[in-house]
Amino acid sequence: MSATTAAPVWTKMRPKQGALSRLFDWKPFLAFICLLPAAGLLMTFLTYPLGLGIYLAFTDTTIGRPGIWVGLENFIWLAEDPIFWNAVFYSVFYTGVATIGKFALGLWLALLLNQHLPMKSLLRAIILLPWIVPTVLSAIAFWWIYDPQFSIISYLFIEMGLRETNIDFINTAWPARWSLIAANIWRGIPFVAISLLAGLQTISPSLYEAALLDGASGWQRFRYITFPMLLPILAIVMTFSIIFTFTDFQLVYAITRGGPVNSTHLLATLAFQRGIPGGQLGEGAAIAVSMIPFLVFATLFSYFGLARRKWQQGEGND
């Protein structure tokens, strides 16, 4: 278009920035703008419910009646409630045993999958299955597996002549507790295995070759190379796993609803039981709030106890 006019003049001088453009170049403003959506979402869906829950824990709200501030009364009540203490015990027990189980089996699986196996990717996909199935569905499957009459496990045992009667999985306290832990382990293994596998794959094979030449046996390679190099990831995965397990709700609620006789209540299921069906919102909230110290402690422990390693890149504590 302008071909007929003189050659375009171009100086290296940049055009002056407009006010708006300058505003967006101003770092504090830019940071504020970029954080706004995330902060808004967090405030609405995280901070507000959490704050409300904590507030409710100090009131005697019930469904349909706004409560009044009662201070620590809910907690004092709970301190004398054997069912609450039973739930505390079972939550800790459930988390502890299931975490050990998940990590022992998950690590073993990850090590196995890290070998050169035929059809490796297919195996990995299969292993992820328990995790991608919605929890409630797998809980219902376990409910059937544990059914007093139609349990497939009982059926197999009886068919093989190993037992005469059906196994009692969930109708007495201790078998029910162990059965739920087994279901939780089954569900949690994939997460652990796949995360640890990702960690294993970051370890350079030449380290193993060097260790091989240094004379390390298979166990020693695991003990001195794999394990220490995996620790940082292990710590993070364990933190998440502990949090998920401690706050578990779906499995227990779908399989036993806390029964028999409240023996398998976790804090989360008990809080729900008291708060929603029971209508005691204040007391339910107090139970939920009482989980916070446990979670904070578990997080701090695995984070500081395991994650900090001097040799890692990018940490200034030389």
Partner 1 sequence: MATVSVRQALKSFGTTRILHGVDVEIADGEFVVLVGPSGCGKSTLLRMIAGLENITGGEIAIDGRVVNNVPPKDRDIAMVFQNYALYPHMTVRQNMAFSMKLAKAPAAIMEEEVQRAAKILGLDALLDRFPRQLSGGQRQRVAMGRAIVRHPQVFLFDEPLSNLDAKLRVQMRSEIRELQQRLATTTIYVTHDQIEAMTMADQIVVMNGGRIEQAGAPLALYDKPANLFVAGFIGSPAMNLLPGMVADGGFRTTGGALLPLPPHAHTNVATYGIRPEHMSLSDDGVEGTIVLVEPTGSETQVTMRMGETVVTGAFRERVQGRPGDKLRVLPDLGLVHLFGPDGARLPS
Contacts of 112 (CB under 8 A, 6+ apart): none
- From 74, 133, 114, select the one nearest 229 (Cα to Cα): 114
Rule CB under 8 A: choose which of 40, 49, 228, 277 binds partner 1: 228
Cβ atoms of 288 and 268 within 8 Å: the answer is yes
Closest separation between CB of residue 252 and partner 1, Å?
Answer: 39
- Between residues 25 and 214, which has the closer beta carbon with respect to partner 1? 214
Q: What distance lies between CA 287 and its chain's CA centroid?
A: 20
Rule CB under 8 A: choose which of 5, 115, 165, 206 binds partner 1: 206
Q: Is 213 in the site for partner 1 (CB under 8 A)?
A: yes
Closest separation between CB of residue 225 and partner 1, Å?
Answer: 7
Q: Is 212 in the site for partner 1 (CB under 8 A)?
A: yes
What's the rounded Cα separation, in Å, for the pair 128 and 271?
31
What's the rounded Cα separation, in Å, for the pair 199 and 312?
14
Q: Is 225 in the site for partner 1 (CB under 8 A)?
A: yes
Closest separation between CB of residue 229 and partner 1, Å?
Answer: 6
Q: How many C-beta atoms surround the C-beta of residue 66 within 10 A?
A: 9
Instruction: Tokens 């996909």: give the residue.
Output: 125
- Between residues 170 and 225, which has the closer beta carbon with respect to partner 1? 225
Name the 3-class secondary structure at 187: helix
Q: Is 306 in the site for partner 1 (CB under 8 A)?
A: no
Q: Is 310 in the site for partner 1 (CB under 8 A)?
A: yes
Burial class (CB in 10 A: 0-12, 13-18, 19+), 151: buried
- From 128, 121, 129, 97, select the one nearest 195 (Cα to Cα): 128
Rule CB under 8 A: choose which of 68, 122, 125, 210 binds partner 1: 210
- Between residues 171 and 217, which has the closer beta carbon with respect to partner 1? 217
Rule CB under 8 A: choose which of 29, 209, 277, 304 binds partner 1: 209
Rule CB under 8 A: choose which of 1, 311, 316, 317 binds partner 1: 311
- Between residues 161 and 205, which has the closer beta carbon with respect to partner 1? 205
Closest separation between CB of residue 220 and partner 1, Å?
Answer: 6
- Between residues 25 and 209, which has the closer beta carbon with respect to partner 1? 209
Q: Is 207 in the site for partner 1 (CB under 8 A)?
A: yes
What's the rounded Cα separation, in Å, for the pair 300 and 293?
10
- Between residues 10 and 311, which has the closer beta carbon with respect to partner 1? 311
Instruction: Return the range that interacts with partner 1 (CB under 8 A); candidates 128-136, 248-256, 280-288, 310-318.
Output: 310-318
Q: How many residues bind partner 1 (CB under 8 A)?
A: 22
Give the CA dihedral 125, 114, 243, 130, nearest 10 degrees: 20
Amino acid at 302: S
Residue 157 host element (H or E): helix 152-159
What's the rounded Cα separation, in Å, for the pair 248 and 269?
8
Q: Is 214 in the site for partner 1 (CB under 8 A)?
A: yes
Q: Is 313 in the site for partner 1 (CB under 8 A)?
A: yes
Helix axes 291-302, 281-289, angle to 10 degrees: 20
Instruction: Give the residues lining the site for partner 1 (CB under 8 A).
Output: 204, 206-207, 209-217, 220, 224-225, 228-229, 309-311, 313, 318
